[in-house]
Structure 1
């Protein structure tokens, strides 16, 4: 009788084991994970995980094993396993959000198959896994047939013939130069801004950046014009010389010093020197005296233009030119106008402001749009090492027990390993702090270059 019971018990356990293999999967607990986060990842209820793992109600351990119920029936998509993924190499200016959008998945699904991204962030050239789901299989298959565009440039300032890079869809590659806008580029190539956004989905959510490569679609009716623009041959052309004139201009609502200075081809510092009364603000209706630079036609060889453009473009990379250093000083100056403003969660004005709104307001004054929250801003731009931090970079912190980014500031000075940053502190309002301060040194998480 005992022997028979033992046999029946073994059959029952075998059946249960086979059933479990069909209905459940194992999950290894990653650092910082919680039951609710794991449940969200697998799109199940926390109670279902507790039911299979009763001991987890007392807490879960790093690298511990949990049984996860597998949902049956139809669903939108499930998180792909490592055996069902595609490798993607991150290129400059990409973000987790843009990659997720490109492959029709969520950022959480990227985190699920790339756990290290939560801590380290996305880096240029990093290889990550893309989960293959039923909804993006065709998209990934098509993406494999496309090659990454290559930049066409003039090297060493030597005049030469430049042939644009084409691909099978009828496009050329274009690199963004300082002060360019999508509207100006679209007009240059005889296309619409919508055409540019369609060919470069990332531009629907992010602003243009100096040095960024974008794709310009070629249409049948403008292909000859595009080729003419892209092909540079030495010849004599009419260009312009510069002469100065002074005008009076009235400040309109919502205008910024940067926008006005940009309009007349001068810096904010030059604008303030010409109009000392606007140093501390820009009142609507104020009449500015602006000494601007007018263009006068003259004739020179475009070989000189090509060489000069090449040098100017090389100087624009990495903020090495005087103009870029001045821009960063203007950025810091704009943020510093908020010093002393009290902290208010969700606030966006000088009556009260939070940390991410301070960043949004500062950068939007220069026509650079950032996402609204600190966690979204941490996915914008390119992550750099702390040793590479520069003025104008965003710096992120984890200051709560939830072990996720919840605070952001902007680097205003880097000196001898000390990084000073401006931010909206909950207790002290908008202030400048240092990463060497004990509180922040333990909580600094990452630094992003967004310019």
Structure 2
């Protein structure tokens, strides 16, 4: 133990010595100190401290040693990258005359040179010269001017993009919208690169805002006023104006970036952590395929449970039977079919790839064996394993080398620091639809649930205090759920105007019962929208009439949007040609996820940096906006809201 302490002491000594040589200070944390008080003492920002001490973000412990920069990097970067522009205007005003008598051989040109005055100015002050030629003996009045040089500040300046900066961060700094920034730079690519020069408003350095990672940032949506922001964010107008003083003069504008408290994130999925460059709400979708510049080979590993050890390859019948009856294998093959087309697609974009595919056999021992017997040190990313236990085993083994590993489809895995959970969690899904209907002040909320989903209905009631509750009928003797309501149960709560009915159940019969009754109650002057926080197989059952769902504009949150069958999509066309069948959701997810992982690697330093460079990406059915977990890795918080409309499932545009 003493040896370990001694080695750590030496490491700390040499680290501090190296840091001091670069004009840094060290600070021993005292009890009761916070990052804010330390930053204030040293006249630096908390961001500067966190850059050199990332562990301090998790917990600040007494007697811990912090490395403190002598100067705030924010103070420098907010001014240094900007080149201001000025237009020079020279103005002249008449002062007095000099008398001149023309000599032999003199011309207007020679006289103008002698007195440093324009010929036209001589004519203006001696108008007879417009009609007559200059002659010897002519008496001229030579005007003398005072010159005044004016420097007029140009409207625009140039700005050098800094590391980890996207469009919305720069727009926020200069108090404009992303659209206004794009208007200043018509040829600006979708993803900015450090060192790139762009046009920005020509502001004084003290008027350029600094970006503070202790806050979140929100982009004002169309038609949003202070009332709607209060409902959505829980912030009064005065709170917003205190954090964003410009609101007192400009008011709210569509596309404006607002600073909001960091803890607002917990209850509002449309608020975006600064670490993720304003996920979902603030960020514009980055089209990575337009930004491929890295020609180096990317090493990708794919781990999936093909279970080839259980398939009799000598028997076509046995193989087909295995695929048909093994759901995990079916999902695996569908997912992998999309992966293969994605790999071909990125190669056509010029990305060089080395791909290793491993069969985990759906066994923990095999996963451990794969990692133990293969060199992953140069692997840029691992996709899979598919199932939670296998994934957690692989992620844990690869964590020591900080190799990114992406969970493809399951809901829950351990979020280690190298883990990318690509499937949004259920909490984000629920928050998405709750926030959507909360923003509609005209909606009358009704919550219908069965006994099994009582907790879900209670949670909804907590979110919508004025909501009416309707429970499924119970058997009078056994008190078991009968999974139905009668028309009068709904008539008593449905009112003229806009009604939103949340149906919380996983029973197909109950869905059929409620949707049928609601469809009959929808008359002129009474609008009914059916919704749920948890769309499941019950809503897709043959027993449920899709016409009823469509008439009720059935609305729900989803990890993906539905691909329109009439869409002329190149992936779908290629998939049909290759496999003679249309791709299902797992095949499309395999394609989308692989495209995203490889293109992030091809356009950024690594997968971790891509979270900053490309805060949100979107493909055929899936979008990815990764957010750093405080004590772990990254999870995708980008969720769709979809709705039945004319028997087609469409994305709800917000």
Q: TM-score with structure 2 length normalisation? A: 0.19
**Which entry has the higher C-alpha Rg, 1 or 2?**
2
Q: TM-score with structure 1 length normalisation? A: 0.25
